[in-house]
Chains A and B, each alone.
Chain A
């Protein structure tokens, strides 16, 4: 008999409009498995505006309020305020937004929600570019990644700026809980959102969500590539709570090349570029490990 490690309940119907191998769709599936039916989602313009399906059909089995691009933090504050004044305490409010809608255009509203200590979970599904509009660079696009607005050419080498350190910014802003998750580790997603649900204040979940069309990978490799991101230390899984960090999976064991070179968006990388990325990943991982060890324990 197989042992079920995930809740059996499904809150996303078959027939959604996600691309084959869509990381963000897998993410929502597991986030909702962790949170259950007493959840209200609000989502800005992003892939999920489409993934949910076209009116009058809707793929999710929880209420969803759609809204404009930059207001996930504000709409979340509004929903929570209304639930509070109505005396409804057992509902989890979730803002579910892409990386561009979070670290770029939605950063102000998110910061305001954190300032107000709005009690909600903000899930950023990070596919590292504006994918819904056809792969343009966002503040989450990694160094040297190809996108349609960082195509590279004779004068520049694709994306020349490093990925925004959003978790660090939001920790300084005042989140009560922060965690990175990956679609390659669904038990970790479920455990972390369950934990976040029971913490007051603004909780930020940074989820690496592979995007086959945007990353130029086969849909069949979506989970595998996401797993490589953690195994190479490019996207370590950790938690932050009450000033302390905890490593969830200390499994960095492979060179970044293993992760980068399976993706078409990195195929132009030179040996020097790979070495530069390796140095940055090593330094970031060591800095994170130095912060971890004492303090909050892992959810998993």
Chain B
């Protein structure tokens, strides 16, 4: 059914469609309306779930780890400082192999205080062992949450998943969303039935003390699960297309990249803006494309390498900054393309921090810059900060 809703409403709707059983949430802007909407659904029996009003995000994640061990499907949502407060328990959820699904409404971390979007919060958690999926729009937010449960709860995976929607740009903006019927979702997403859960007749200890002689094997198993997730993301997408007709292209969506001379790697809502810019450039005969990274964890290195063999200049737009290597995505893309060092030129662009608007014109400038590099021009700085208020800087 077509409806008009924000990404936060879509996320709450997805939780309802997934028939989540235990919710634990704590308010933080711009996530709050997800937890409010779910409270309303529980209060009206639209959703049969236990809603734990926790006293912090740390406790939200802790409560869900406990609930997941009993075998309940679990849900929370957070942003920014809340995600940072959860940090310790993010490691715990992944290490304990609890497939909790959590929308993260991305937001800058203070100081300076800032409630608007950037990806510093989620990039700070990239090594916690969570699956991380970025969404371009409200429809993808709803759809990705359903896919995330299917991927995360797969017995070959059993890892928690973040579904990232950009604060305000998606979370508070109304868009047309096709909401599937819950019966159709039931067909796509089966009830959570983990093989590892508390069994009173076969008592075990979960989260034991492990000595150095076995600790590495536990971590290695997490690494293997993350690798296996690559295939599962594609499979979940294919099944989703079959069930609901919408296709997102697996780990990495290629947009007009077939014959592209340059391509820009990007995540989240800005991918839509970049696509519009690419269309405009194409109208002017410029061969540019967009590589929308849907999964950051697992990271699609092979897919990027395949593109690198066709596209000689690849830029990366990051809504975060990693001290020492530029954007978080840039570092990883360059790493993935290392086998093609010398053949593929790369450049990182930092922009949209703290909710700074990123426009079609910005992306056109980026594409022009990449085209100039492609045709033999100098790359200039390896990392460029886009649209800074300083005349001496390039943009």
Is A52 in contact with B205, judged by CB distance below 8 angstroms? Answer: yes
- Nearest A residue to B56 via CB reads A108
- Nearest B residue to A95 via CB reads B66
Is B52 in contact with A78, judged by CB distance below 8 angstroms? Answer: yes
The minimal Cβ–Cβ distance linking A11 to chain B, given in whole angstroms, is: 9
Is B58 in contact with A40, judged by CB distance below 8 angstroms? Answer: no
Q: In the bound complex, what is the Cα–Cα distance between A65 and B67 (angstroms)?
A: 11
Q: Mark B53-69, 1 if CB is under 8 A from A, else 0.
A: 11110111011111111
Residue B206 contacts which of A38, A64, A74, A86 (CB distance < 8 angstroms)? A64
Would you call A83 an interface residue if the criterion is a C-beta within 8 Å of the partner chain's C-beta atoms? yes
Residue B70 contacts which of A56, A60, A73, A86 (CB distance < 8 angstroms)? A86
Q: Which of A12-51 contact B (CB under 8 A)?
A: 37-38, 40, 42, 49-50
Report whether over half of chain A's contact residues are helix, strand or loop; otherwise say mixed: mixed
Residue B63 contacts which of A58, A77, A85, A115 (CB distance < 8 angstroms)? A77
Would you call B92 an interface residue if the criterion is a C-beta within 8 Å of the partner chain's C-beta atoms? yes
Interface footprint category on A: 35 or more
Would you call A293 an interface residue if the criterion is a C-beta within 8 Å of the partner chain's C-beta atoms? no
Q: Which residues of A contact B66 (CB under 8 A)?
A: 42, 65, 67, 74-79, 82
Would you call A91 an interface residue if the criterion is a C-beta within 8 Å of the partner chain's C-beta atoms? yes
The minimal Cβ–Cβ distance linking A25 to chain B, given in whole angstroms, is: 15
Would you call A220 an interface residue if the criterion is a C-beta within 8 Å of the partner chain's C-beta atoms? no
Q: Which of A50-96 contact B (CB under 8 A)?
A: 50, 52-56, 58, 60-68, 70-71, 73-79, 81-86, 88, 91
The minimal Cβ–Cβ distance linking B67 to chain A, given in whole angstroms, is: 4
The minimal Cβ–Cβ distance linking A165 to chain B, given in whole angstroms, is: 21
- Nearest A residue to B26 via CB reads A112
Q: Mark B195-207, 1 if CB is under 8 A from A, else 0.
A: 0001110011111
Q: In the bound complex, what is the Cα–Cα distance between A64 and B199 (angstroms)?
A: 10
- Nearest A residue to B202 via CB reads A63
Known interface pairs A40-B200, A67-B66, A79-B70. Does A55 touch B209 (Cβ–Cβ under 8 Å)? Answer: yes
The minimal Cβ–Cβ distance linking B343 to chain A, given in whole angstroms, is: 46
Would you call B258 an interface residue if the criterion is a C-beta within 8 Å of the partner chain's C-beta atoms? no
Known interface pairs A67-B66, A77-B52. Does A60 touch B58 (Cβ–Cβ under 8 Å)? Answer: no
Is B63 in contact with A74, judged by CB distance below 8 angstroms? Answer: yes
Would you call A116 an interface residue if the criterion is a C-beta within 8 Å of the partner chain's C-beta atoms? yes
Interface footprint category on B: 35 or more
Q: In the bound complex, what is the Cα–Cα distance between A76 and B70 (angstroms)?
A: 11
Q: Which residues of B contact A116 (CB under 8 A)?
A: 52-53
Q: In the bound complex, what is the Cα–Cα distance between A56 and B218 (angstroms)?
A: 12
The minimal Cβ–Cβ distance linking A148 to chain B, given in whole angstroms, is: 22
Q: In the bound complex, what is the Cα–Cα distance between A70 and B60 (angstroms)?
A: 12
Would you call B21 an interface residue if the criterion is a C-beta within 8 Å of the partner chain's C-beta atoms? yes
Q: Which residues of A contact B69 (CB under 8 A)?
A: 65, 79, 82
Is A50 in contact with B205, judged by CB distance below 8 angstroms? Answer: no
Is B203 in contact with A62, judged by CB distance below 8 angstroms? Answer: yes
Is A63 in contact with B50, judged by CB distance below 8 angstroms? Answer: no
Is A71 in contact with B50, judged by CB distance below 8 angstroms? Answer: no
Is B208 in contact with A75, judged by CB distance below 8 angstroms? Answer: no
Is A82 in contact with B208, judged by CB distance below 8 angstroms? Answer: no
Q: Which residues of A contact B89 (CB under 8 A)?
A: 68, 71
Would you call A274 an interface residue if the criterion is a C-beta within 8 Å of the partner chain's C-beta atoms? no
Known interface pairs A40-B200, A63-B204. Does A74 touch B210 (Cβ–Cβ under 8 Å)? Answer: no
Would you call A109 an interface residue if the criterion is a C-beta within 8 Å of the partner chain's C-beta atoms? yes
Known interface pairs A74-B54, A91-B200. Does A79 touch B209 (Cβ–Cβ under 8 Å)? Answer: no
Would you call A136 an interface residue if the criterion is a C-beta within 8 Å of the partner chain's C-beta atoms? no
Known interface pairs A85-B48, A86-B71. Does A37 touch B62 (Cβ–Cβ under 8 Å)? Answer: no
Is A63 in contact with B209, judged by CB distance below 8 angstroms? Answer: no
Would you call B88 an interface residue if the criterion is a C-beta within 8 Å of the partner chain's C-beta atoms? yes
Is A54 in contact with B210, judged by CB distance below 8 angstroms? Answer: yes
Is B200 in contact with A74, judged by CB distance below 8 angstroms? Answer: no
Q: In the bound complex, what is the Cα–Cα distance between A60 and B203 (angstroms)?
A: 8
Residue A65 contacts which of B64, B207, B209 (CB distance < 8 angstroms)? B207
Q: Which residues of A contact B220 (CB under 8 A)?
A: none
Is A86 in contact with B72, judged by CB distance below 8 angstroms? Answer: yes
Is B198 in contact with A68, judged by CB distance below 8 angstroms? Answer: no
Q: Which residues of B contact A88 (CB under 8 A)?
A: 70
Q: In the bound complex, what is the Cα–Cα distance between A38 and B199 (angstroms)?
A: 10
- Nearest B residue to A58 via CB reads B205
Would you call A218 an interface residue if the criterion is a C-beta within 8 Å of the partner chain's C-beta atoms? no
The minimal Cβ–Cβ distance linking A153 to chain B, given in whole angstroms, is: 34
Would you call A150 an interface residue if the criterion is a C-beta within 8 Å of the partner chain's C-beta atoms? no
Q: Which of B25-76 contact A (CB under 8 A)?
A: 48-50, 52-56, 58-60, 62-72, 74
Would you call A111 an interface residue if the criterion is a C-beta within 8 Å of the partner chain's C-beta atoms? yes
Is B67 in contact with A79, judged by CB distance below 8 angstroms? Answer: yes
Is A66 in contact with B55, judged by CB distance below 8 angstroms? Answer: no
- Nearest A residue to B21 via CB reads A85
Residue B58 contacts which of A42, A56, A63, A71 (CB distance < 8 angstroms)? A71
The minimal Cβ–Cβ distance linking A24 to chain B, given in whole angstroms, is: 15
Q: Which residues of A contact B203 (CB under 8 A)?
A: 37, 58, 60-64
Would you call B307 an interface residue if the criterion is a C-beta within 8 Å of the partner chain's C-beta atoms? no
Known interface pairs A38-B200, A85-B48. Does A68 touch B92 (Cβ–Cβ under 8 Å)? Answer: yes
Q: Which residues of A contact B92 (CB under 8 A)?
A: 67-68
Q: Which residues of A contact B56 (CB under 8 A)?
A: 108-109, 112
Q: Which of A102-119 contact B (CB under 8 A)?
A: 108-109, 111-112, 115-116
Q: Pull 16 A–B residue pairs with CB atoms less than 8 Å apart, ordered by A.
A: A54-B210, A58-B208, A66-B208, A67-B66, A68-B88, A70-B58, A71-B59, A78-B62, A78-B65, A81-B63, A82-B69, A85-B72, A86-B70, A86-B72, A109-B58, A111-B55
9 smallest A-B Cβ distances: which pairs? Answer: A78-B66, A66-B207, A78-B63, A71-B62, A112-B55, A82-B70, A74-B59, A81-B50, A55-B208
Known pairs A74-B59, A74-B60, A85-B49. 6 more at Cβ < 8 A? A54-B210, A68-B62, A73-B59, A74-B62, A82-B68, A88-B70
